[in-house]
Chains A and B, each alone.
Chain A
Amino acid sequence: MDPRDILSIVFLLAAAPFFLAGTIGLLRFPDVFCRLHALTKADNLGLGLIVIGLALQADTWLQSARLLLIWLLVMLSGATVAHLIARTALRAGRKPWSGRS
């Protein structure tokens, strides 16, 4: 097997736990701020690893560049949205979870 394929498979398989963690975090974490933290793992690392895994398979560097662009856009949007949602929740008077409740 081509070493590039093996690397791809490793990256793709590594991505799966982050999406699972994002979902489980979304379900299990106690408040909206913690859940945001879980969500951004899927945005940044999960999608990032998939992009790297697929970019290794791409035929031309243009295709890899397109994949990287998609990842950058999702990260940019994810960061902005996470900030805005957290701010809204904070202004709406929700207190971040302090571990006591």
Chain B
Amino acid sequence: MTPGLLLLFDLLLPAVLLWLAWRSLTSSDLFRAVILFIAFSLLLALAWVRMEAPDVALAEAAIGAGVTGALLLVALARIESAAGRRLSPSARWRSAALVLTGTALLAAAAGLLWSLRLLPTMPGGLGPLVDRHLAESGVDHPVTAVLLNFRGYDTLLEVGVLLLAAIAIWCLDEAVPFLQQPLESQLLTGFNRMMLPILLLSSGYLLWLGSHAPGGAFQAASLLAAGMLLALFSGASLPAQWSGLPLRLLLVLGFFAFLAAAIIGPLTGRALLHYPPAWEKPLILLVEWLLTLSIALILTAAVIGGRPTGSRLYPPPSSPSAEGRRQ
């Protein structure tokens, strides 16, 4: 039974979420919009928890609190340094456009809300089906089983999408100095010394957790990426000899390992992504480890936002003198 207070919580939380989304879209200052969006994704994780979706909540917490916030703030700073800190004025409409858009949105709202009535009152869902085949999947957690076994091609293509994103970002521009000047702080250095091992450890913990409970490669990769971001913020760079072929190989490693595991099936007379029965667990775990590494690097590269250049550090340091010092 849901206690009354929890019900109140469930009424207040969506209201706050809607308010945050609305303010994030309408506030004139873009920095405020970004902060409101960060708060929005934070509370969204609470909503996933309330809806009993711990995997999604973990992913939202890991990505929303770490990578997305950094991604938005870094991009906003770059946009503002190029285009100036400018208020984004609220929309001014031609009246015909306003009427058209308003009607379309209201019609869509009415249609979607009305379609709620079409939902079956006693839904069966695919849960029982998944549970029946869980033993064959090699892992004990239904969501991981769906992700890496039953619907493995989704996950394969999703990693492909991430890889393509990294390639697209690298095509767009060369990496610019990540910090305009190094963030020199003894405290941050000490903080990183403590946090980086902890983040590495918890990333491994989430990965291990994924085989029998909520967790998994993407969540683990987000934690790892957050660790790399912390290092970047305190001025770390990848040496030039690593930022060429080795980095590129590591970026594609996860995708190709998954692909290799996927075509074991056709080679041994099974369907694509059907693993040999005795090898399911080790294969899934190996693929997850490599995926974690690659996804973490892809996310970090996305925040850096550009490709490494020839013989320089990646990302390049803020001043040429620092380059000599650090190498």
Contacts and interface: CB of A to CB of B under 8 A. Distances in A.
Interface of A: 73, 76-77, 79-80, 83-84, 87
A31 to B, nearest CB: 18
A84 B187 contact: yes
B188 interface: yes
B107 interface: no
A80 B198 contact: no
Interface in B163-198: 183, 185, 187-188, 191, 194-195, 198
A83 B198 contact: no
Nearest to B190: A80
Interface of B: 183, 185, 187-188, 191, 194-195, 198
B198 A73 contact: yes
5 contacts: A79-B187, A83-B185, A84-B183, A84-B187, A87-B185
A76 B185 contact: no
Contacts of B194: 76
Contacts, number: 16
Instruction: List the 5 shortest-distance A-B pairs measured between CB atoms, nearest first.
Output: A80-B191, A83-B187, A80-B187, A84-B185, A80-B188
The B interface, classified by DSSP as helix, strand, loop or mixed, is: helix
Contacts of A79: 187
B187 A76 contact: no
A87 B184 CA distance: 11
A73 B185 CA distance: 19
B66 to A, nearest CB: 12
A76 B197 CA distance: 14
A89 B185 CA distance: 15
Contacts of B187: 79-80, 83-84
A80 B183 CA distance: 13
Contact of B195 (A76, A83, A87): A76
A69 to B, nearest CB: 9
A4 B195 CA distance: 34
Contacts of B191: 76-77, 80
A80 B187 CA distance: 7
A76 B198 CA distance: 12
B188 A84 contact: yes
A60 to B, nearest CB: 16
A11 to B, nearest CB: 19
B74 to A, nearest CB: 16
Given A76-B194, A76-B195, A83-B185, 7 more contacts: A73-B198, A76-B191, A77-B191, A79-B187, A80-B187, A84-B183, A87-B185
Contacts of B198: 73
Contacts of B195: 76
Nearest to A88: B183
A73 B223 CA distance: 14
A29 B187 CA distance: 26
Contacts of A80: 187-188, 191
Contacts of A73: 198
A77 B188 CA distance: 10
Contacts of A84: 183, 185, 187-188
A77 B185 CA distance: 14
A76 B194 CA distance: 9
A73 B202 CA distance: 12
Nearest to B194: A76
Nearest to B186: A83
A46 B215 CA distance: 28
Q: Which of B183, B185, B187 has the most chain A CB atoms inside 10 A of its CB?
A: B187
Nearest to B198: A73
